Structure 1
Amino acid sequence: MSLHEYKRKRNFGRTREPAPEDSARGGRAIFVVQLHHASRRHFDFRLQVGDALRSWAVPKGPSYDPKVKRLAVEVEDHPVSYADFEGDIDEGYGKGHVDLFDKGVWATRGDAEAQLAKGHLEFELFGERLKGRWHLVRSGRKERQPAWFLIKVDDAYAGEVEADDLLDATMRESTRRAAKTPATRAAASRSTARRKATPTTRRVSAASLAKAAAALGGAREARASGDFFPPQLARLRETPPQGDAWLHEVKWDGYRIVAAVADGATHLWSRNGLPWNDRVPEIVQAIDALGLDSARLDGELIALDSEGRSDFNALQRTLSGEAHAPLVYMVFDLPYLQGHDLSRVPLIERKALLARMLAHAPAHLNLSSHTVGHGDDVFAMAMAQKLEGIVAKRVDGGYRGGRGDDWQKIKRLESDEFAVVGYTPAKGSRLSFGSLLLARPDPDGGWTYAGRVGTGFTDAMLRELGDTLAKGGSKTPTVRIDAVDTMLRGALWVPPTVVAEVYYRGIGNKDLLRQPSLRTLRMDKSPDDLRDSDRDAPKATRKRTAANKATAKKATKPSPRATGKPAAERRTGHAPVPAADPDTVVITHPDRKVFPADGLTKQDVVDYYKAVMAWLLPGIHDRPTSTIRCPGGIDSPCFFQKHVMAGLDHVGVARLKEETGATADYLYPRDAAGVIELVQFGAVEFHPWGSHVDDADRADRVVFDLDPGDGVAWARVVAAARMTRGFLAELGLTSFVRTTGGKGLHVVVPLRPGAGWKEVKAFARGFADALAEAHPLEFVATAAKRLRKDRIYVDYLRNGRGATAVASYSLRSRPGAPVAVPLRWEELGKVRSGAAFDIHSVPKRLARLKKDPWDGIDTLRQDLAAVNRKLAGK
């Protein structure tokens, strides 16, 4: 999708609306509805599809009545950052006031783009005001702009409720002030006369559930808690246990989630005890609809494909915002309910009560059914349906956190994870490559060839891997080969950077995998993880990896960080590699226009980064770094890339924990070749963390982003930076200044020693608040757009773990190819704007410099803990 029309219709020097380059957003795909008091009052209905918001203007707003077809006029795509926009559009296109009406996540079964192309999208909304299932149907009428109809599905939320009925007092006042016609005044009048209808779902009463729970043998009265509780775990077994003392369930292919309800409020937790409410609001809403006062549920979060089957890849892509699959919580245990601890109640009785509770539950809650006895038959059924496997549980077992023998998992096939170390060329009609070459860790810290996998790939995966991983390579094996494999003739070998999970039917006599089939590429793992991943692995793999643990620690121990030079090794578990020559990186499509309006090509971007490499690299090497990639140029969709992708040979890999509790492979430039390789993959901008990969939890930089609002002259921004410098100096902190390539300036404070992210963020917020309180007409410390007019926003949010700030000497993906440039404080007054330097002027500036403007930033000793003690009067 293109944001060309959005940009064409707006002057971003005058409008408060966000520019497209600020549109990156992680997490679930969102929807937003905004009430727009333009020349004609209407609701703007927007669905995130990919990297943009598909948008429709709905004059009368959404209706909960399935009999009502609301006209929805398709308008230009908007950037994802528009979801946060509120306030006045002072003049030009869309002039008027904008209020946020509702916001949440959305889902659809099937491909959203394909449904929209066909003219009928069925989807589900999970917001505060808008819930349930809806249709968007394209009208057959020929209009100047494509016309659609927004229609509510007749579900549990349907009713005679209009959008105006759901307005709060603030939006009603906006409606009253903006009313210019009898029609809009009548709509406002109706909204005050109606009452909000609360949809209800049929359910078993909480009182009857409490009575049933109290009657169970072993139940004990206990107080409720919304805290995390450790889930019960299963041991891996090769065959199902026999007899009626065991019940058997499907082994669901998803993420383990436990839910705790206390005082009517639902709290979701990951297996590792991290909160998940914000990630899956549909599950929170579904549990809330049960009307419980207190409970504990255990289950698996899964995603459903277009045929209603569990799809692990769809789950990962939906949680990252790349897909919109419906999510379902498959509940299989109930260790606590309505004031009663049921952990000593036999499992079969807990499940009977659970089935009763979920009999009329919302669609996003499902009971994980079971069969008592007949383990072999249930396992055969799982194999026939190509499920992951089954879980066997003792019928009379209690519920105890941690791993034990009462729960046993039996997988359909043996599965394990291997590093991808090469590929064989494609033959016949096969796309891109024939098979991927796999390796397992060696006891000596290297890798041993384990076999080939050539099945289980989709066409899309073949194309993607063909464009990334299966390119280049060496004819010389990068791993040890203990068995002869004639199919390796012509194979090309690459360093192990990607992990593949495969099914297989045992180990052959040559110690190679038998009948392997790809399950998935584990983009959330790196080869490092394979050196200590044998906890639940099949016996053949456990024996092979048991000897690796001692050497694994040595192999994965981070090397000391270089100062002012590229890192000496990559953290991928294999031997250190020397810094590569950037000229060895092949640049494809060098003539592709990256900055079309300026006539600048991909080769121009490569040449720029090579010219400034000695100045750029010290600020990003060994730091987790997000890039902004614009594969089609800055006029096409651009997006953040922070995780490692297949095909990167020169970029470092850092295994870091995310907010979800899972770990992921973050990329970081380790040398000039890595930077140029990222540019080859479409990177235009570089945004590093304020910490290094070998100490990611301690920040060594504090960044204050001074972002001027409308009406702020550049001279005020310069004065604000100098004022910020002065206040920091009073605290004993030396600071440095940089243009951002945009509207503002960065004031950067180095820390040596570093400090924890919590401490750094608290300091940054306190400092920003103090600035705003001391000079309320000059500064504001909150991000709300409506408060930033004629003031300078002190953005302290770049100082949290995982937050980034643009790198010194990084290009910006904006017309004119501006650059973020470090300055001496003495020369700040000579600079005319935050975008004063560009791709042409920066190399000339550097050629004239006799000294780094930020000389000494990496050796300056500044202790934030000492500053905080001083502020506390200690």
Structure 2
Amino acid sequence: MSLRDYQRKRDFTKTSEPRADAAKNNASRAIFVVQLHHASSRHFDFRLQVGDTLKSWAVPKGPSFDPSVKRLAVEVEDHPIAYADFQGDIAEGYGKGHVDQFDKGVWSTQGDPEAQLQKGHLEFELFGQRLKGRWHLIRSGRKERQPSWFLVKAKDAFAADIDADDLLDATMKASTLKAAKTTMSKAAAKKSVAKKKAVPKPKAAARSTLAKFAAALPGAIRSPPNADFFKPQLTKLREHPPTGSEWIHEVKWDGYRILTTIADGKVHLWSRNGLPWNDRLPEIVQAIEALGLSSAHFDGELIALDEKSHSDFNGLQKTLSGDAQKPLAYMLFDLPYFEGTDLTRATLSDRKALLKRVLAHASHPLAFSSHSVGNGEAALAMANKQKLEGIVSKRANSGYRSGRSDDWLKIKRLESDEFAVVGYTEPKGSRTGFGSLLLARPDPDTARGWIYVGRVGTGFTDTQLGDLTRSLATGGAKKPPMPLAAIDPQLRGALWIKPRVVAEVFYRGIGNHTLLRQTSLKTLRPDKAPADLRDSDRDASATSTPRKTGKKTAAKNPTDAIAITHPDRVVYADEAITKQDVVDYYAKVMDWFLPGVLNRPTSVIRCPEGTAKACFFQKHLIQGLHRVGTAKLKEESGAQAIYIYPENATSIIELVQFGALEFHPWGTTVADADRADRIVFDLDPGPNVFWDRVVAAARLVRKLLAQMGLESLVRTTGGKGLHVLVPLKPSCAWATVRAFAEAFANSLAGAHPLEFVATATKTQRGGKIYVDYLRNGRGATSVASYSLRARTGAPVATPLRWEELGKIKSGAAFTIKTIPIRLAKLRSDPWKALTTIKQDLPAVLKHLAKSRKK
């Protein structure tokens, strides 16, 4: 399903529903929405945001809280995010009827939601006003015209004998009764909207008993409630944990500090700097409200959980920005105020004992941050073994006070790895010889290249300083032999040398530009040579994170860098084409294909189990991708999202390994994302349109563009139609490009109404050619030249010379088997002019405007 299906099925001159390219909602989190739709057949529409669309299912009887009940959910076309706020009447046409919003909230899942959907089982959690807890969507094995699923409630604290109809409010009940007059008796309608029941809630702690316990603690003082932000207690960094039983040790969670105040039962969430966060964390607010407290102050850390239930900071950032749906948890570790009692002078041990009791019946995502008493070295060793960020050591008998003190100490986990020494900086102060060593790791995309990862200037013994000064710090080149991701003032006087020595280095994670943080020398490795690093298995290292270097060099054989799993899996069943055949195709055409997608934000169509089964769009980073670039870009709606883009040939092969068949880039590069460098007109023939008319249409478009002073190129789409592409150099603002493309398409359709249509409505396209100009908005894509299509016969989108267009028989004339033969025979690139044409769209428009005035 896709938004093109959504756009095609609706006539937006008649319906008030949002268009497919409508602005998104303002929520930063991935949302879900359930709508009650009084169409010809009353049903609930269940929608989950995945990426930039709402995956949608029609659930005739609505969700049930009973885990033993399987509710049929029929998959329908994707809907735009803006549809989440739609309510009202749909006029004549597709979906006629009234729509009410039944529930809305955020949702989470562990793992890649698209991959789970493709496999046929999505397990997720809802945080709405009505729908809560864990749920399952399971694909039915029955073959239907539209894919059928089952929506099933998981067995958790919210499971109960309740149906969606039990939770309808008065407005929705009235809509149901009104809609039922024409389809059922009034008595039957009343029966269908049963008495409203409450959503089950987890058991809350006994507030009065706990309040008495808090008031009796030594140091407790009665104090009125306060909903204002309170400044948190902070930690000091130490190299080693303190000793003695007067210290407790907690996990150092890798997330965002969140403070909570409750006054008169109203919950307020605050960031560490005092910014309100209720809107960003509705599930946390709900869980705290379920505790049933009148007043309290909590201190804790917001984290995202990975598959091993470890905190995942990158996953947290992506979830909060709407680019992932990882489960969040609020790890609570202090309680400085509770039910009218100030506990800042009570001991930490007493505060945590009370906190543990308060959370005894709390539901996810609230969790108690447990601790151990004494033996800090063992706690740190455990954190190192489990690859946690570190530990926080706190005095057990201390109070709670804002700011930093020696009562709370953080000890971070040290990681170590081996790197080649590729240079050195000048010494400063009393040091002689050199200041720091410059480090690099092998570049997996080149046979001999290196990637700079940072420098190390501490941890050397006097003997090592002397030996390295004599052996390494003697001469060198001023120009670095590899690109640097950031300008470091310390490198201005650096000298670069050929890798000869391997150093093992401690570091505390990876910082900006994938450079090592807080390095110190562990040891030199005279038993290893830099060449040995290239042979070691380093893909799992934290230093192998996706990079943003924008480097254009490619491996001589990119397939050598990527292990291809299931190479014999059949991808195109009709042609018996395997996954390895697809890999081999892209490797053969890489020199022709790569320039069209290199450093461009790119969506891919993945078919992990072949074209005969489910395929889906992907444009965001997923777990396991290491060789693609990522960039946070603004979309046409104004929202920001993190996109993937191919950095080199290895990026392409890695995406193919993940099942990618089609590549659809933006009309811009990540370096100049605010401006388009091309315009694409997609000529898409409707039913009963013969190919010769499509050819004639492309030639007409070329002629009209030429009359304006714009040169154009043509390619087959690998589908039914043709693309006419207008290169822009210099590039042009998106708003100008979009306005021009829309005006041109509408003018063409207006001048030739029997030949062209500029609206996506399918009912108007019979016997006409749809001029799709929507590929020219910010964030819109069009298929790349030489990209495969996930269609019968494995067709390929193919650039043509205008002179050969008349010889082509269809938009799918070239395939995976014939393209390599065609390229071998070509004497020159059909689109050679793409890099040489210089045409300025604003200048052309200005000239046209002057001509009209004359």
TM-score band w.r.t. shorter chain: 0.5 to 0.7
Question: Following the alignment from structure 1 to structure 2, what is the Cα–Cα distance between the partners of residues 214 and 271?
Answer: 27
Deviations 1:133-155 (A, max 9, x none): 11111111111111111111222
Deviations 1:325-363 (A, max 9, x none): 111111000000011000000101101111111112112
Question: Following the alignment from structure 1 to structure 2, what is the Cα–Cα distance between the partners of residues 109 and 476?
Answer: 34
Deviation at 1:424, TM superposition (A): 7.3
Question: Following the alignment from structure 1 to structure 2, what is the Cα–Cα distance between the partners of residues 226 and 521?
Answer: 42
Which residue of 2 is the match for residue 116 of structure 1? Answer: 117
Which residue of 2 is the match for residue 311 of structure 1? Answer: 312
Deviation at 1:645, TM superposition (A): 8.8
Q: Structure 2 counterpart of 1:328, which letter?
A: A
Change in Cα spacing, 1:676 to 1:62, as seen in structure 2 (3 Å) is closer
Which residue of 2 is the match for residue 135 of structure 1? Answer: 136
Asked if 2 retains the 8 angstrom alpha-carbon contact of 1:23 and 1:51, the reply is no
Question: Following the alignment from structure 1 to structure 2, what is the Cα–Cα distance between the partners of residues 501 and 518?
Answer: 11
Secondary structure of 1:115's counterpart equals helix
Question: Following the alignment from structure 1 to structure 2, what is the Cα–Cα distance between the partners of residues 364 and 593?
Answer: 34
Which residue of 2 is the match for residue 15 of structure 1? Answer: 15
Secondary structure of 1:22's counterpart equals coil
Larger Rg belongs to: 2
Map 1:794-805 → 2, pairs under 5 A: none
Change in Cα spacing, 1:38 to 1:677, as seen in structure 2 (3 Å) is closer
Question: Following the alignment from structure 1 to structure 2, what is the Cα–Cα distance between the partners of residues 196 and 475?
Answer: 58
Map 1:139-218 → 2, pairs under 5 A: 139-180=140-181, 185=186, 188-190=189-191, 193-218=194-219
Secondary structure of 1:317's counterpart equals helix
Deviation at 1:390, TM superposition (A): 0.4
Change in Cα spacing, 1:7 to 1:431, as seen in structure 2 (3 Å) is farther
Which residue of 2 is the match for residue 331 of structure 1? Answer: 332
The answer to whether residue 92 in structure 2 is matched with residue 91 in structure 1 is yes
If the length of structure 1 is used for normalisation, what is the TM-score?
Answer: 0.57
Secondary structure of 1:351's counterpart equals helix
Q: Determine what percentage of the aligned residue pairs are the same residue.
A: 53
Map 1:105-504 → 2, pairs under 5 A: 105-180=106-181, 185=186, 188-190=189-191, 193-413=194-414, 426-427=443-444, 436-439=451-454, 479-480=491-492, 482=494, 484-487=496-499, 499-500=513-514, 502=516
Cα RMSD for the two superposed structures: 4.9
Asked if 2 retains the 8 angstrom alpha-carbon contact of 1:502 and 1:518, the reply is no
Which residue of 2 is the match for residue 769 of structure 1? Answer: none
Question: Following the alignment from structure 1 to structure 2, what is the Cα–Cα distance between the partners of residues 276 and 128?
Answer: 18
Deviation at 1:308, TM superposition (A): 2.0
Q: Structure 2 counterpart of 1:518, which letter?
A: A
Deviation at 1:644, TM superposition (A): 10
Deviations 1:291-331 (A, max 9, x none): 11110110111111123222112111111111111111110
Question: Following the alignment from structure 2 to structure 1, what is the Cα–Cα distance between the partners of residues 640 and 90?
Answer: 32
Deviations 1:95-150 (A, max 9, x none): 11111111100011222112211211111111111111111111111111111111
Change in Cα spacing, 1:815 to 1:485, as seen in structure 2 (3 Å) is same
Question: Following the alignment from structure 2 to structure 1, what is the Cα–Cα distance between the partners of residues 309 and 274?
Answer: 29
Q: Structure 2 counterpart of 1:2, which letter?
A: S
Q: Structure 2 counterpart of 1:628, which letter?
A: E
Question: Following the alignment from structure 2 to structure 1, what is the Cα–Cα distance between the partners of residues 201 and 46?
Answer: 25
Asked if 1 retains the 8 angstrom alpha-carbon contact of 2:16 and 2:90, the reply is yes
Question: Following the alignment from structure 1 to structure 2, what is the Cα–Cα distance between the partners of residues 102 and 678?
Answer: 39
Question: Following the alignment from structure 2 to structure 1, what is the Cα–Cα distance between the partners of residues 317 and 447?
Answer: 25
Deviation at 1:190, TM superposition (A): 3.0
Asked if 2 retains the 8 angstrom alpha-carbon contact of 1:498 and 1:646, the reply is no
Deviation at 1:678, TM superposition (A): 5.3
Secondary structure of 2:142's counterpart equals coil
Secondary structure of 2:311's counterpart equals coil
Deviation at 1:274, TM superposition (A): 0.9
Change in Cα spacing, 1:673 to 1:107, as seen in structure 2 (3 Å) is closer
Question: Following the alignment from structure 2 to structure 1, what is the Cα–Cα distance between the partners of residues 484 and 547?
Answer: 23
Which residue of 2 is the match for residue 5 of structure 1? Answer: 5
The answer to whether residue 642 in structure 2 is matched with residue 628 in structure 1 is no
Secondary structure of 1:83's counterpart equals helix
Deviations 1:448-493 (A, max 9, x none): xxxxxxxxxxxxxxxxxxxxxxx9959999953635442499xxxx
Secondary structure of 1:334's counterpart equals strand
Asked if 1 retains the 8 angstrom alpha-carbon contact of 2:300 and 2:331, the reply is yes
Secondary structure of 2:354's counterpart equals helix
Change in Cα spacing, 1:673 to 1:44, as seen in structure 2 (3 Å) is closer
Which residue of 2 is the match for residue 42 of structure 1? Answer: 43
Q: Structure 2 counterpart of 1:368, which letter?
A: S
Change in Cα spacing, 1:41 to 1:814, as seen in structure 2 (3 Å) is farther
Question: Following the alignment from structure 1 to structure 2, what is the Cα–Cα distance between the partners of residues 254 and 683?
Answer: 42
Secondary structure of 2:279's counterpart equals coil
The answer to whether residue 542 in structure 2 is matched with residue 518 in structure 1 is yes
Deviation at 1:397, TM superposition (A): 0.6
Which residue of 2 is the match for residue 588 of structure 1? Answer: 596
Which residue of 1 is the match for residue 56 of structure 2? Answer: 55
Change in Cα spacing, 1:84 to 1:198, as seen in structure 2 (3 Å) is closer
Question: Following the alignment from structure 2 to structure 1, what is the Cα–Cα distance between the partners of residues 20 and 439?
Answer: 38
Change in Cα spacing, 1:283 to 1:521, as seen in structure 2 (3 Å) is farther
Change in Cα spacing, 1:353 to 1:425, as seen in structure 2 (3 Å) is closer
Question: Following the alignment from structure 1 to structure 2, what is the Cα–Cα distance between the partners of residues 677 and 286?
Answer: 41
Deviation at 1:67, TM superposition (A): 2.0
Deviation at 1:674, TM superposition (A): 5.8
Deviations 1:609-654 (A, max 9, x none): xxxxxxxxxxxxxxxx96437xxxxxxxx99547899999xxxxxx
Q: Structure 1 counterpart of 2:331, which letter?
A: M
Deviation at 1:174, TM superposition (A): 1.3
Deviation at 1:188, TM superposition (A): 3.9
Which residue of 1 is the match for residue 736 of structure 2? Answer: 809
Asked if 2 retains the 8 angstrom alpha-carbon contact of 1:415 and 1:503, the reply is no
Asked if 2 retains the 8 angstrom alpha-carbon contact of 1:246 and 1:394, the reply is yes
Asked if 2 retains the 8 angstrom alpha-carbon contact of 1:313 and 1:520, the reply is no
Deviations 1:775-806 (A, max 9, x none): xxxxxxxxxxxxxxxxxxxxxxxxxxxxxxx9
Question: Following the alignment from structure 2 to structure 1, what is the Cα–Cα distance between the partners of residues 442 and 416?
Answer: 25
Asked if 2 retains the 8 angstrom alpha-carbon contact of 1:503 and 1:519, the reply is no
Deviation at 1:845, TM superposition (A): 3.5
Change in Cα spacing, 1:379 to 1:119, as seen in structure 2 (3 Å) is same
Question: Following the alignment from structure 1 to structure 2, what is the Cα–Cα distance between the partners of residues 218 and 309?
Answer: 35
Question: Following the alignment from structure 1 to structure 2, what is the Cα–Cα distance between the partners of residues 201 and 319?
Answer: 26
Change in Cα spacing, 1:43 to 1:274, as seen in structure 2 (3 Å) is same
Asked if 1 retains the 8 angstrom alpha-carbon contact of 2:310 and 2:388, the reply is no
Question: Following the alignment from structure 2 to structure 1, what is the Cα–Cα distance between the partners of residues 640 and 745?
Answer: 20
Secondary structure of 1:173's counterpart equals helix
Deviation at 1:675, TM superposition (A): 4.1
Question: Following the alignment from structure 1 to structure 2, what is the Cα–Cα distance between the partners of residues 18 and 505?
Answer: 53
Asked if 2 retains the 8 angstrom alpha-carbon contact of 1:164 and 1:188, the reply is no
Question: Following the alignment from structure 2 to structure 1, what is the Cα–Cα distance between the partners of residues 112 and 209?
Answer: 42
If the length of structure 2 is used for normalisation, what is the TM-score?
Answer: 0.58
Asked if 2 retains the 8 angstrom alpha-carbon contact of 1:202 and 1:360, the reply is yes
Asked if 2 retains the 8 angstrom alpha-carbon contact of 1:43 and 1:58, the reply is yes
Gapped regions of structure 1 (runs ≥ 5): 443-470, 490-496, 525-585, 595-624, 630-637, 649-670, 685-805, 820-832, 854-874
Map 1:18-33 → 2, pairs under 5 A: 18-25=18-25, 27-33=28-34
Q: Structure 2 counterpart of 1:326, which letter?
A: P
Deviation at 1:239, TM superposition (A): 0.5
Change in Cα spacing, 1:267 to 1:296, as seen in structure 2 (3 Å) is same
